[in-house]
Structure 1
Amino acid sequence: MKDVPAPQSFYVGIDVSKDTLDVSCLTQAGFHNYGQFENTRAGLQKLNRWLLQQQGFEYTTALFCMEHTGIYTRQPVEFLLLRNARIWMESALHLKRSIGMIRGKNDKVDSYRIARYAMVNKDEAKLVSPSNGILQLLKDLLACRTRINKSIQSLKVSVRELQRVDKASGKELDKLNKAALEGLKKSKTAIEKRMQELISSDPELKEIFALATSVKGVGRVLATELLIYTHKFTRMNNIKQLACYCGVAPFTHSSGTSVRGQTRTSHFANMNLKTTLHLAAMSSTQYVPDLRAYYRRRVAEGKPKMCVINAIRNKLLHRVLAVVKRGTPYLLNYAEINLVKS
């Protein structure tokens, strides 16, 4: 009777690009194999057959690792999740810095380095869970809305700058761009309407969205972005993690006795979310009474304005996270909560 090989822990590194998947398989025993496949459904089927040919390979015991490359990872991830595979999506910058000094690169070598990284750092793996279909569609709609906003702003700024130096040409371009701007604005309105319909269709999303927007200063866009990027506040339910992800957590910059830099925020953050949060904080300094009073008092005490605005960003995050965890809407006077409970 032929012996059946025992399942081994395979570490599969996948270098994802628009057209191809470069795949390297490693094991602790020193096994190494490489293959290249098209980033299509047909190519994924060939990948499946190739993987099953590796002696001792099983999807449930293997660890797949790949970089975040936007929409191009969507098909491979869905394909692997259907087979109950363990998937680790790692930051490209994190991977690059973990490797150390290197000379030269190509897709084949990159896939090997990713597999090697997964094998060495397997205890730190953060596995991907099946994504919510509504959240994925919301993310795509939000990205489309962002692109439309940039297009509108680009058209407006270019015409405005031209009018400063050549009023006749600027006026003519303004007339010609009017139809395009109106079309973009209609598309933006339709996208926002669709996003609201999706949120309302899911009871859990609807409840969390209502709680987040109950906080004064937090609008629909910021609440939607927080819902999407935190996966309904399940990925980052700690205020320090959330503040760090949004780029508003302060970090010291010092070393020994000679380096004494200013405490500052980090640029390693979700810049889209940070921008929206900043706009919400700026609006709060004008229209939210308690935050407006806080801003004026701290500035009068000599605090730098941006430092105070960053504190307001953190306050907004604290309040949103608090109401979501508590499950009750935000109340300006906390004493009112005790009255409601009693």
Structure 2
Amino acid sequence: MKNLISGIDISKDTLDYCSLSTEKVEVITRGVLDNEKKAIEKWLKSHDQKNTVFALEHTGHYGATLINCLHKNGYVFYLINPLELKKSLGIDRGKSDAKDAYRIAEYAITNKHKLEPYQLPKENLGRLKALITARERYVKMSVQVQNSLKANEILNQSIDVKVLIKEEKKQYKSIQKSIRNIENEMQKIIEADQELKSSYKKMTAVIGVGPVIAIKCIAETDNFLKFDDPRKFSCHCGLAPFPYQSGTSIKGRTKTHFLRDKSLKAVLTKRAISAIQHDPQLKTYYNRKIKEGKHHMSVINAVANKLVLRIFAVVKRDEPFVKLAA
């Protein structure tokens, strides 16, 4: 363990930092700097790589500059899940950026046995993540415009809103074009990287796994380096059921947890429905479970979990997918 832990609270314009000694958990230094490359580079020069480790929350784009600077200069740093940090605080009063920086550093010292240094993914994976996120945003916009267009077409029967209909049709075409451009760019990245191309080709051979879910899985798992166990990935997606019981009085039903990657679960659920229609083995499994009295969505969830197991099997074992008879 390093001698100094520097906790950093990230905001859009500034970075609040608090450095603690790992032995006595005492404040050594604290302060604020601008969230820009020059200021961060200058601040990092005052730290010894051998004796300092940094801890920061995952804040998306706001922390990208700091993470790149830490990685480029060879510093060890931890990227902490904000929810995990919040849940660990217990009863707490008050909140400020300076206080949050102290809490991050203290959490890193207390939980040093659980934390692993963050490894920045390859540039192509970073680009894929940004593009797949943008695609999801454009798809939501497309649905909103479509719904508004349908509503205005009904309204047009009693009130003249042809101008609105015309504008929304333009918007819809523009959004669809943007989605196609993003998908083409993602395919170019996949084709240019041999490792990504290999994983993509294996996954899309699995019945029910299309281009979007394949790219989504590659981006979320850092091309299957972040997750070794498919069951852990199922838990991340919200497909793994958990019991809810205690003693003799509390006996809730086993169900999936609300803490999950909702976009991944939504895509996997849709692909599971498609897989049931096209894969004889999964169709037989679905029909059998429904006859046994299982709920429709419970079986769909189980099929989505089977898709995850198949994806990991073909990628990790380096074996092609083989379609089996029912």
Tell whether the structures are fold-level matches, with TM greater than 0.5. Answer: yes
2 CA distance for matches of 1:135 and 1:109? Answer: 34
Q: 2:3 aligns with which of 5, 9, 14?
A: 9
What is the CA-CA distance between 1:45 and the residue it aligns to? 2.7
1:134 aligns with 2:104: no
Q: CA deviation at 1:172?
A: 4.6
Q: Does 1:44 align with 2:40?
A: yes
Structure 1 gap ranges (5+): 1-6, 53-57, 335-342
Displacement of 1:268 after TM fit? 1.1
- 1:120 aligned partner, one-letter code: T
Distance 1:169 1:68, change over 3 A: farther
Give the Å deviation of 1:62. 1.9
Q: Which position in structure 2 is the counterpart of 1:195?
A: 186
Note the alpha carbon deviations across 1:278-329, whole angstroms, 9 max, x for none. 1111222223222222212211221100110011011100111111112122
Cα distance change of structure 1 residues 171 and 62 upon mapping to structure 2, 3 Å threshold: same
The answer to whether residue 233 in structure 2 is matched with residue 233 in structure 1 is no
State the partner residue of 1:321. Answer: 312
CA–CA distance in structure 2, aligned partners of residues 170 and 286 of structure 1: 41
One-letter code aligned to 1:223: A
Query: For 1:33-82, what per-residue CA distance to the aligned partner results, in whole angstroms no more than 9, with x for missing partners?
Result: 10100000122133224x43xxxxx2233221111100111111111112
Residues 6 and 20 in structure 2, CA contact (< 8 A), matched pair in contact too: yes
Corresponding residue SS for 1:252: strand
**Mapping for residues 151-166 of structure 1, pairs under 5 Å:** 151-164=141-154
Q: CA deviation at 1:162?
A: 4.0
Q: Report the identity percentage.
A: 35
Maintained 8 Å contact 1:37/1:46: no
Corresponding letter in the other structure for 2:199 = I
**What's the CA shift string for 1:221-262, capped at 9, x where partnerless?**
001011011011111120211110111000001111111111
What's the C-alpha RMSD, in Å, of the aligned pairs?
Answer: 1.7
- Equivalent positions of 1:29-108 (< 5 A) are 29=24, 30-49=26-45, 51-52=46-47, 58-108=48-98
CA shift at 1:31, angstroms? 4.2
Query: Secondary structure of the equivalent of 1:18?
Result: coil
For the 8 Å contact 2:218–2:224, the answer to whether it is kept is yes
SS in structure 1 at match of 2:283? helix
Other structure's SS at 1:12 match: strand
SS of corresponding position for 1:303? coil
The C-alpha deviation readout for 1:4-54, integer Å capped at 9, x for no partner, is: xxx9611110000110000000002434210100000122133224x43xx
What secondary structure is seen at the aligned counterpart in 2 of 1:253?
A: strand
Gaps of 5+ in 2: none
Aligned position for 1:21? 15
Q: CA deviation at 1:161?
A: 3.1
Aligned length: 322
- Contact kept? 1:159, 1:170, Cα under 8 Å: no
Partner of 1:280: 271
CA distance in 2, matches of 1:242, 1:60: 34
Q: Which moved more, 1:169-178 or 1:184-193?
A: 169-178
Match of 1:220 among 169, 191, 211: 211
Farther-moved stretch of structure 1 (309-318 vs 8-17): 8-17
The within-5 A match list for 1:111-150 is 111-150=101-140
Return the offset for 1:194. 0.8
| Deviations, residues 82-118 of structure 1 (Å, cap 9, x unaligned) | 2221111111111011111111110000001111111
Show the counterpart of 1:340. none
- Equivalent residue for 1:331, pick from 319, 322, 325: 322
